[in-house]
Structure formats: structure tokens, C-alpha cells
A and B are shown apart, each in its own frame.
Chain A
Amino acid sequence: MDDLSNFISHFFSPAAWSFLKAIGEACMTPLGFLIWTTLLKSAILLGIILGLVSYTVYAERRVSALIQDRLGPNRVGWQGLLQPIADAAKLLFKENFTPKNANYFYFRLAPKLVMIPPILVMGVIPFGSSLFGVPMTIASINVGAIYVLAISSISVYGIVLAGWASNSKYPFLGGIRSTSQMISYELSLALSIVPVFMVVGSLNLNTIVQYQVEYGWMIAPFWPQGMSWDSLLHPTAAWQAILAGIKLRHLLLWIPLIISFFIFFVSMFAETNRLPFDLPEAEQELIGGYHTEYSSMGFALFFLGEYTAMIAGASVITTLFLGGWSFPLIPDGSHGWFWGLVNIAVFFAKIIALLFIFIWVRWTLPRFRYDQLMKLGWYFFFGLAVVNIFLTALILTYSK
């Protein structure tokens, strides 16, 4: 190591070399280490997310085509895999048009407000256990879940601003619809996950994942930590481990958690403006809704923002209900960097599976009518979520 650093030092002037050494040493202090690992994690995660976003668009087009007995984009590159790049290049070179009577500042601000919040949400999601001892969460904060709810509802401002600043009737209608839809679903979205916090006793997403590692996933509380490869070799031990995992309390808590998962999952469709609830866009009625007046990258940001929101939503669902990065029989990152990478892969595999469900549902269901949407949100989900909280409280109190 010293030989190597001596060798490298020949390429720099003494002053520059000492400066580099100082930076290197600063990187090894706890604070410096935290800063550069966080920056590196953020950059890599952003890269993964943006790549995933463009290929979700591609997947959406291919899957929808298959569902409708078509082929979808298959010309650019092998099986059309370069299509997202071609689309991005096309959108970049188009004219970024602003209508004459639009409010320029808000008109330009709106697309950014749609794109940025879902990316910010990813900041608190534990997307892996740990890699080389570095925890795979950008910010493990104690109000993680509240932060997620708060930040993800900012994107409604983007849609409302777009609708208003465009100074045009269809975007305006889309903006209004979006506001009322978001308000109705935001409530049940937030209330539906309260049982999870009651069961875990923490809002920190890392703690929630850790709870699921110990007691099994929220929607399938069956595999306890005792399950390992060793125990599989001894059937009796494995059977005992499974039996030890099944407790009356867990089975009872399973009921409210399934309800909670169901409400959260459906509300997430409304939150991300996906098809059964895509009233703000409603291509057939509102000509695209809030983004009617946008072109070029403005439109691209709305379009990609929807998919980024899908990914953020899928990762929140994964973290809260599907065990985050954990998978039965797979150890966490403290057993070596390979398992750390496997954990990250498991997390993204779960996200991709959820994204597929999002796409699948979109190309199956027709759009809800406006009053049906309101009724579902206010009468059904809101009430169910509140009752669910009390049900969880009862089970927690009376089952030990």
C-alpha cells in the first residue's frame, strides 16, 4: 500500500500530493466517511432509479402490447431495448413551448415539483441491509414514515400548479380533479399504515424492516429468524422454528395488517395517478389533463415523474409490508458483501414485481367514475382504515 502511494505520488507536485493526502485522511474520519459514503450512495441510487424509470416506461409499453395481443416497440436495438434512449433524445430536442398566457414561473416550476418528491422519498428507504459495513439507507431518520407521507404529497402541488399555470381549461379540470382525489386518498393512505407503526412501535423504516426480519413479513408473518439453511437440513428443527414463528398474536395481527396492506396498495394507485384512478390525466376526457399544454422536457418530467412515483410507492409498500430487503433464508449484509448485494437485488426484485402489478392492473381495469372514486375514498377506505386502527389496538392490548 505504501509502495503504491509512493508510486502515485510521483505524478503530483508535493503541494498537490499533500492536499490529496489530507482529503484522503479527512475521508477516513467518521464524519468524512459518512459524507462521502452518503454522497456515493445517493449518486448510485439516483442512477439506478432513473434507469429503472425509463425501463419501466419500456416495460409498460411492452406489457400493455402483450396484454392487447400486440408487439410493442421492438425496432430500436434488440427487442426495442434502446427505445427509452431514443424517446429521451427525441423529447430533449423538441421545442419547449410555453403558452402565451401561462404564468411562466409556475408553469416551469410544476414539472420539477412532480419529479423531485418521489426521488426524495427514496432517500429514507432502506434499499439494502449493509455493504462493507455501510448501511444501505441514505438517511435513517426516526420520522422516516412521516417524511415519506409528507414528501410524497408535495407532488400534488406540481399537478395543481401545472393545471392552474397553464391557463387552459383541460389542465385546469385535471388540476381540480387531482386536488380532490389526492385529499381523499391521502387520508386513508396515512391512516391505513398506522397499524404497522403500532405493531412495530417505531416510525423508522429501518426498524420496521428489522422487525420483519425477525417476525416475518407484515403480510406473511410465517418465517421467523430461526429459519436458516442449517435448520432446513434438520427437518424437526425447521418444523419447530416454523411453529415457534406462528403465535396467536401474530395470526390475529395478520388480519388488520392485510386490511392495511390492501388499503395502502389501492390508495397508492390513486396517489400515483395510475389507471383505475387516473382522473387527473384522463386522456379521453381531458386530453391528458394537467400536462396538456406541456411539450418537450416539461412533458417528459411529468411522464417520468409518474413512473418515479410508482417506484417510490412500490418501495414504500415493499418496506412496510413485504419485508424490505429481507428474504427468508438469505442472511443480511453482516455475513459478507455478497449477501449485501443479494439483499439489494432482493429489494429491487420486489419493486419490479410490484411495478409489474401496477402495469398489469392498469391495462385491465377501466377508469372509475368521479363519484365512485370519492365514495370509495371517503366512505369505504377512510372508515375501514379508522376501524382497522382500533382493531389493531384491541389485539395488541388483549393478546400477549
Chain B
Amino acid sequence: MAFVVNRKKLTLAEKLYLPAILSGLAITWKHMKRALFGKGIITMQYPEEKWDKNLPAWYRGAPTLVKDETGRERCVACQLCEFICPPRAITIEPMEIPDESRWRKVEKKPREFDIDMTRCIYCGLCEEVCPEQAIFLRKDYSITGLSRDQMVHHKDKLYEMGGVMNGLVIKWNEKK
């Protein structure tokens, strides 16, 4: 069945198009006049002004390693994150925890833990897959370096960025 769209009958002013142009010009003029006196400008002067305090708790920034409240490295070098990492940014070299250590029951910890930030896509799969809640995506987003080597985060740097994570964590937050 034919469906007839009823076109609105245009007035002469609408057909001429000029009144519409003039009202449009009036709107842009109003905006320009307001912006000229610094009102209503939404630009954020990036390096000086940042939006960090408004970042949500589930923001996915740079991945980091965390220690627990007793200072133990949570990572047990199970390498699940290394296997799941889609761009293969994570490289782990495990080592055994020596017998005299307090945590010898844990058996393994990473000797080397490198995340190549030129490859990381901030997907957060490493955090989701981690059975020990040892790796977290924090709010650092401005990762820079002058060479490829500088863009690889080694274990020390990852622990420095991660710090200590106490108690329950928001690993299973549905928005993550």
C-alpha cells in the first residue's frame, strides 16, 4: 500500500531561505560574543588542567602490580595474564620462592614482569583473569617515553605505580 508522506507547505519566508540564514547568523553571533568574553568556553587547557579527579573508579588506565598489606607481592607468576593478553604485551619470567622465605608456601613469584606499553591496549583482560587479584588497571593514562625501551614497564616500576591494595577489591565490578 502506498504510503503518502504529507509535506509541509512552506511559507514564502521559508522558501526564500534568507530569514533562516539570518536567524542562524544571529545564533552564531550570540555564541561568539559570549565566548569572546570568556563565557561558556568548554575548552580544557590540557597539560595544565586535567580531568583526573572526575575519572570513574572503573577507569582503565595503565596496568600495575600491587602488594598486599603485609608487603607480599600478590603475583604468583601463574602467567594467565601473559596468555590472555591480546596484544601480547606482558612477559613474565617466574622464579621459585626460596625455602627460607616466609611465603614459601606460595611457591612462585615473578623474577621479571614486563609490560610493553607500546603494545598494551588497556583492555583489562589481565585484571579480569588474575586469580590472585595482583594486577590492576589504574588511572594513569599519560604514558610517555623517548624510546621503545622506556615504554616497557619493568617489575619495579609496576609495583611503584601499583602500591599496596588492601582487603577487598573491585575486581568483579560489573562496569569493569
Contact = CB atoms under 8 A, between A and B. Distances in A.
Interface of A: 63, 65-71, 360-361, 363-365
Contact of A66 (B24, B25, B32): B32
A360 B31 contact: no
A69 B41 contact: yes
A66 B36 contact: yes
A156 to B, nearest CB: 26
A68 B45 CA distance: 16
Given A69-B41, A71-B41, A71-B43, A63 B32 contact: yes
B24 A364 contact: yes
B131 to A, nearest CB: 47
A68 B25 contact: no
A69 B28 contact: no
B56 interface: no
Nearest to A262: B18
Nearest to A368: B17
A69 B25 contact: no
B41 A70 contact: yes
A360 B35 contact: no
A361 B25 contact: yes
A69 B43 CA distance: 8
B35 A67 contact: yes
Contact of A360 (B25, B34, B36, B43): B25
9 contacts: A66-B31, A67-B32, A67-B35, A69-B34, A69-B40, A70-B43, A361-B25, A364-B27, A364-B28
Contacts of A69: 31, 34-35, 40-42
Contacts of B25: 360-361, 364
B38 to A, nearest CB: 9
Given A71-B41, A360-B28, A66 B35 contact: yes
Secondary structure call for the B interface: helix
Contact of B31 (A68, A361, A365): A68
- The bracket for how many chain B residues form the interface is 10 to 19
Nearest to A362: B28
Given A66-B35, A360-B28, 16 more contacts: A63-B32, A66-B32, A67-B32, A67-B35, A69-B31, A69-B34, A69-B41, A69-B42, A70-B35, A70-B43, A71-B43, A71-B45, A360-B29, A361-B25, A364-B28, A365-B21
B99 to A, nearest CB: 60
A365 B24 contact: yes
A70 B34 CA distance: 11
Contacts of B40: 69
- Which one of A63, A69, A70, A361 has the greatest number of beta carbons of chain B within 10 Å? A69
Contacts of B35: 65-67, 69-70
B33 to A, nearest CB: 8
Interface string B31-75: 110111000111101000000000000000000000000000000
Contacts of A68: 31
Interface string B107-134: 0000000000000000000000000000
B37 to A, nearest CB: 10
A66 B28 CA distance: 9
Contacts of A67: 28, 31-32, 35
B18 to A, nearest CB: 9
B36 to A, nearest CB: 6
Nearest to A361: B25
B42 A70 contact: yes
A13 B42 CA distance: 68
A357 to B, nearest CB: 9
Interface string B1-35: 00000000000000000000100110111011011
A33 B152 CA distance: 71
